[in-house]
């Protein structure tokens, strides 16, 4: 048995020359012979192997044929660790009896599985690789280009894998971070096998599980809390990426973009709270936040198109306004697509920096000292975020539309602090306190929607200025009443 420990990065093919140049310049790097690999993945029609968290593959290289089965492993951030068993064979069909008996769950009918396994999909790619010594560790960096083929469908492969051959897992991150300094990359969550199952239709797209509040560790240790917050943020970020790519629905896409930004902001808050923000990471976050500024406009456009909250009321030109909103949305999405965002070097650098922190935290090499117990720590964070809101919108102030939009991010971040640590508190007290602030956040989105409506209708020479002024004034009156009442409420921490 071998233990496969690897980190996968996705990249775009136009950076091939830059990647090769970067890898050739790495200290201790030795290029290996390129190879063409054909891989067939097998399972039963009922996916019995996948249900046992196993993956079965036959790899046909230029000088060998090998069957491999990978058993259940774990993923920390982007680091994949799985036991695997490799057996040389002479044909392109696997023989399950050649694997050790102890890997199979009790009462597995191996003969029945053997008789019904079939090729579900293929991955065929060219692999260029480098062996890199880094300290006492040896890492293989493999660049794979090719395609996943399943049920007549084809999906391209263009990825870089860092596999630990000997030494410490931290060597994977050190090399990946160095590569990301020169080549735009992003963290790769989906393995070739997972992509094959999805393409074949045997596996459904992963859904984004709703989280009311993050489930914090039972022992309430700060180190484990940091690990949970980092892992939750990184995991959701990657799932949201895949969902954005798979939906064409404007309203759903807008919500996904909002959730992606919430993940990024939560991760930034977490690092700040634990004193882990350095100048490089701050720069990564700032670059990404600037690139995500289009989200407010996208959210406003989706509210206009969907009109679930009857924002357009009884306007006679509803259909025309929605049509204008759809055109603006199409342009906004085209100008700010996810693929374009991935070209931002800071995107992959930030993801890898977060995984590096997660790995250090989970391994115990990053220790938290002189921190209070979790309950006191959370109370302190809640109080700080609450005080920021009080400073941003004091009870004595009178706030207009622009004033509210200026404090939108601060309010959003304060709500996220409560989201991260909310399960530590009594639900009734917590929800009663948070509800008006969440309503204010929704009100700010609606104010942005009215401002966007004013621009759209002005460009189309439509006269709804008076109606918009009345709607905005009415909403501001309600928001001001809600805000001043909320500021009188006693905090729940």
Q: What is the pLDDT of residue 62?
A: 84
pLDDT band at 219 (very low <50, low <70, confident <90, very high): confident
Domain definitions of the chain by residue range: 2-204, 242-486
Architecture of domain 2-204: Beta Barrel (2.40)
The yes-or-no verdict on residue 287 having pLDDT over 90 is yes
Q: Which of 39-43, 117-121, 253-257 has the lowest mean pLDDT?
A: 253-257
Supply φ then ψ for residue 406, to 5 degrees.
-70, -30
Q: What is the pLDDT of residue 1?
A: 60
Q: For the residues 137-147, what does the mean pLDDT come to?
A: 96
Asked if 405 and 476 touch (Cβ cutoff 8 Å), the reply is: no
The yes-or-no verdict on residue 148 having pLDDT over 90 is yes
Closest CA to 315 of 462, 459, 442: 462
Question: Kind and range of the H or E element at 338?
Answer: helix 338-342
The yes-or-no verdict on residue 362 having pLDDT over 90 is no
CA within 13 Å, CB half, 448: 22
Question: Kind and range of the H or E element at 363?
Answer: helix 345-363
Region of 28 on the Ramachandran plot (φ > 0 left; ψ -120 to 50 alpha; else beta): left
Q: What is the pLDDT of residue 472?
A: 93
Higher-pLDDT residue of 252, 31: 31
Looking at the chain, the whole-number percentage of residues with pLDDT higher than 70 is 98
Q: What is the pLDDT of residues 58-89, one digit of tens each?
A: 999 888 999 999 988 777 777 888 899 999 99
Q: What is the pLDDT of residue 247?
A: 85
Supply φ then ψ for residue 354, to 5 degrees.
-70, -40
The yes-or-no verdict on residue 370 having pLDDT over 80 is no
Q: Which of 31-40, 147-156, 186-195 has the lowest mean pLDDT?
A: 186-195
- Mean pLDDT taken over the chain: 91
The label of the residue with tokens 């914090």 reads 216
Closest CA to 402 of 367, 332, 451: 451
Q: Where are the alpha helices (DSSP H) in 181-310?
A: 192-200, 222-246, 250-273, 279-291, 295-306
What are the DSSP E strand ranges found in 61-110?
A: 65-70, 74-76, 79-88
Q: For the residues 113-117, what does the mean pLDDT come to?
A: 95
Please state, in angstroms and rounded to a whole number, the distance separating the CA atoms of residues 108 and 335: 53
Please state, in angstroms and rounded to a whole number, the distance separating the CA atoms of residues 23 and 334: 33
Please state, in angstroms and rounded to a whole number, the distance separating the CA atoms of residues 327 and 60: 49
Q: What is the pLDDT of residue 383?
A: 95
**DSSP string across 301-337:** HHHHHH-TT-TTTT-TTHHHHHHHHHHHHHHHHHHT-
Q: For the residues 154-158, what does the mean pLDDT come to?
A: 94
Please state, in angstroms and rounded to a whole number, the distance separating the CA atoms of residues 407 and 443: 12
Q: What is the pLDDT of residue 309?
A: 67
Q: For the residues 231-260, what does the mean pLDDT come to?
A: 89
Q: For the residues 142-168, what does the mean pLDDT come to?
A: 94
For residue 248, the 8-state DSSP code is: -
Question: Kind and range of the H or E element at 129?
Answer: strand 118-134
Question: Kind and range of the H or E element at 9?
Answer: strand 2-10
Looking at the chain, the whole-number percentage of residues with pLDDT higher than 90 is 68
Q: What is the pLDDT of residue 372?
A: 81
């Amino acid at each position: 048995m071998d233990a496969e420990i690897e980190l996968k990065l996705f990249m775009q093919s136009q950076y091939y020359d830059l990647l090769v140049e970067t890898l050739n310049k790495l200290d201790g790097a030795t290029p290996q012979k390129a190879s063409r690999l054909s891989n067939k993945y097998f399972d039963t029609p009922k996916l019995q192997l996948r249900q046992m968290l196993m993956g079965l593959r036959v790899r046909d290289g230029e000088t060998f044929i090998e069957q491999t089965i990978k058993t259940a492993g774990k993923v920390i951030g982007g680091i994949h660790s799985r036991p695997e068993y490799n057996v040389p064979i002479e044909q392109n069909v696997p023989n399950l009896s050649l694997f050790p008996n102890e890997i199979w769950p009790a009462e597995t009918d191996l003969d029945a599985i053997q008789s019904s396994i079939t090729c579900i999909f293929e991955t065929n790619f060219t692999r260029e690789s480098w062996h890199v010594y880094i300290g006492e560790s040896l890492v293989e960096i493999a660049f794979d280009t090719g395609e996943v083929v399943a049920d007549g469908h084809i999906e391209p492969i263009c990825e870089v894998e860092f596999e630990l051959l000997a030494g410490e897992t931290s060597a994977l991150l050190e090399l990946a971070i160095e590569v990301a300094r020169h080549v735009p990359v992003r963290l790769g969550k989906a393995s070739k096998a997972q992509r094959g199952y999805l393409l074949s239709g045997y596996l459904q797209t992963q859904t984004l599980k709703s989280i009311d509040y993050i489930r914090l560790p039972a022992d309430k240790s700060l180190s484990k809390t940091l690990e949970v917050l980092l892992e939750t943020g990184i995991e959701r970020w990657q799932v949201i990426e895949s969902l954005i790519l798979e939906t064409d629905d404007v309203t759903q896409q807008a919500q996904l973009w909002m959730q992606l930004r919430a993940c990024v902001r939560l991760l930034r808050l977490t690092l700040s709270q634990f004193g882990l923000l350095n100048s490089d990471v701050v720069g990564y976050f700032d670059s990404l936040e600037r690139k995500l500024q289009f989200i407010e406009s996208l959210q406003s456009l989706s509210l206009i198109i969907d009109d679930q909250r009857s924002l357009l009321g009884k306007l006679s030109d509803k259909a025309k306004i929605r049509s204008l909103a759809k055109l603006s949305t199409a342009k906004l999405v085209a100008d700010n697509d996810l693929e374009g965002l991935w070209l931002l070097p800071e995107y992959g650098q930030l993801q890898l920096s977060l995984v590096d922190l997660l790995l250090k935290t989970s391994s115990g090499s990053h220790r938290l000292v002189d921190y209070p117990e979790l309950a006191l720590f959370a109370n302190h964070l809640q109080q700080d975020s609450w005080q920021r809101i009080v400073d941003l919108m004091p009870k004595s102030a009178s706030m207009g539309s622009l004033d509210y939009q200026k404090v939108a991010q601060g309010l959003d971040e304060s709500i996220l602090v409560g989201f991260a640590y909310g399960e530590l508190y009594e639900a009734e007290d917590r929800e009663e306190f948070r509800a008006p602030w969440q309503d204010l956040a929704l009100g700010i989105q609606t104010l942005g929607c009215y401002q966007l409506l004013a621009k759209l209708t002005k460009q189309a020479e439509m006269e709804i200025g008076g109606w918009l002024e009345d709607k905005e004034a009415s909403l501001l009156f309600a928001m001001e009443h809600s805000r001043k009442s909320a500021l009188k409420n006693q905090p729940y921490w």
